[in-house]
Structure 1
């Protein structure tokens, strides 16, 4: 029998492409950990990898600094648009992450297009982060989101209007997290959300926002400024954690210096027909576990049902 040396066996083993021999599902899982551009670049590895990126189940549009400052955003818009256009139309997306830190004239239009395209691919988990500069007045609006598959949505560092906060057409959305956002909206609507977290956000101070999430189980409303939102009755609420900020519009500044609420200023009485009532605690009256953190001078007049 021909004799094969240990060195020859070792050399043959090193040249063997074992990764490419893995099933498509495993390779798609691996690609899902890479930024979108690096995942596409794997098409150069071998014939086996040429089209794998077109059907990967997790898409990460992030690490935007790598695209440069001057023309990177424009190139990124073209790249992502081509990426979505060339994807396998029959392939669904389990998770999509969009982190966009450039600012051009039509950037929010493109972001909105990417979001709606992701939802059309049956995305279950969507994360959106776009820290636009404070001097950019544009808000993410457009038509309401529509999906029968979206389960979790996380939005941070954005400016949102009412249409984007209308989740009544996302029938399976249960986990909603909003952080570091400006909410220029009259309402947040959802029949399906069970876990709602709003942190470090600013509600517009001219009209009180209405939060209508009747099936909510867990609520976190922490460190938000602007006018205190009105919470509709939440019959299923089990746990609520609410803390106010000193720059809240409903904070009685006169009462702070006097040592008690003055009861007559705009911060105490409001200008939206809710004078003398409790806009916040009334919606929390069903909670089994309630944690409240308020500053001195904050007006809290709970009216609990008997």
Structure 2
């Protein structure tokens, strides 16, 4: 960065702090810094565009209290948080749900020494991007699944894990193995030769807060079939056996019952038993594509706190 760019950044930051933190009017800022008011206005706009200033919309809690109560009474959950999203479009839905979950996570005050993180979840990665430093007492953030998808996605997932650990003032624990392998023998071989994978998997025995990923019983749009992931044929095989979705790549039927099979032996990550024994299990999910999977995750006891949209919540109680 050039000296001129440095000076521009410093001025943007100073103007933004005077305006947003100290509550000064633009005219007063202009007088104090001996610049024009129009330049103050431009600097404030540039500060937002460059990310120096981030606008946060605080969602009032429990504005859909009756709907939240209805879901909580129907399923074995601790809390449900329902929001009215701008759109059911996938990208906008993801952003709104991630923001709501981030607000909830930012308010957490209970101790969570070990946070289990589903780093391949797009919604959870968006959440981390806008998350403020956490107030939890956390020592480790552990990835709950190995790598899924191409190297670019693996890089994004690792970056989100490290970022979440930094925000929690904790140590990031990575699971640098494929998330899905070709055979149980390959899984055993890879884990047995990787001491770091063994350590990460062992830490999943003691999760205090699991940030859970919920998927439909089909190839995720962000992933490619067979790319460290299940194939179309494997998903069809599980649908034929009654699967409506998966939680951390473990398949469930419509009532939340586990569908056991050889595919469980291909996953390098958190087990069903480890997930269900976690002290808290939070999920953020919505949209029609995942309706049946979310219902299964709630019914099966894999989630005890859910952030979702009004359409999904109405489906859950219908």
The two structures have a TM-score, normalised by structure 2, of 0.28
Higher strand share: 1
Higher relative contact order (CA 8 A, sep 6+): 2
Higher helix share: 2
Structure with larger Rg: 1
